[in-house]
Amino acid sequence: MNPELSRVCSKYIDVPYADRGRGPAGWDCWGLIYYLSRNYFGHKVPSYLDCYESARTQDSVSRAIVINAKAWKKIEIGEEEPGDVVVLTLAGYPIHAGLILESGYMLHCMEGRGTVRESYLVNAWRHRIEGLYRWIL
C-alpha cells in the first residue's frame, strides 16, 4: 500500500462506530467513506444522511445505496484502486460498505468492531460482495 495512504488510514483504525456519525471521532460505514473520500481522495461524495434515519434500518440504507448508484461506476474485482468502494450485503440487503485501500483490502466500520482494515476477499466477506464502485461525479 502507498505509505502515505497507510499512514492516513492507520490513524483511523479503532475509531468507534457511531450511528450516522460522519467522523473522525465516530462514524458508521458510510461516514468513514464520506470523511476519507472527501478529505483524502478529493471526491465530493454525499453524506446520505437525508436518506436514512439509522444505519440499523436496512431497507432505507439499501434504498439509499440503490437510488444513489448513478454517481458510481461499477467495476470488477481486479480493477479496484484506492478510494473505490466495496458494497457488501448483510441480512440479504446491500447495506454495508468499505473504502478500498488496495486490491483486496478495505477500511470499514461496524457496530461492535469500530474501524478495521480487513480483506474483503476472505470467506467472511467474499460471498457478501454486492459490487465494487468508483465515484464518477
40-58 pLDDT, tens digit per residue, is 999 998 888 887 777 777 6
Count of domains forming the chain: 1
Q: How many helices (H) and strands (E) does the chain have?
A: 4, 6
Q: Each residue of 120-133: pLDDT tens digit?
A: 999 999 999 999 99
Q: Kindly tell me the sign of the dihedral angle through the C-alpha atoms of 88, 94, 95, 97.
A: positive
Q: What pairs with residue 90 in β-bridges? A: 93
Are 68 and 46 contacting, i.e. CB atoms less than 8 angstroms apart?
yes
CATH number at residue 64: 3.90.1720.10
Query: What backbone torsions phi and psi does residue 124 show, to the nearest 5 degrees?
Result: -65, -25
- 109 burial via Cβ count (<10 Å: 0-12, 13-18, 19+): buried
Rounded CA-CA distance 105/101 in Å is: 6
pLDDT tier for residue 64 given thresholds of 50, 70 and 90: low
Segment 18-29 shows an average pLDDT of 93
The pLDDT value given to residue 56: 73
| Whole-prediction pTM | 0.90
- Residue spans of alpha helices (H) in the chain: 3-10, 29-36, 58-67, 123-126
Segment 27-45 shows an average pLDDT of 93
Domain of residue 50, residue span: 3-135
Q: Each residue of 75-119: pLDDT tens digit?
A: 999 999 999 999 999 888 888 999 999 999 999 999 999 999 999
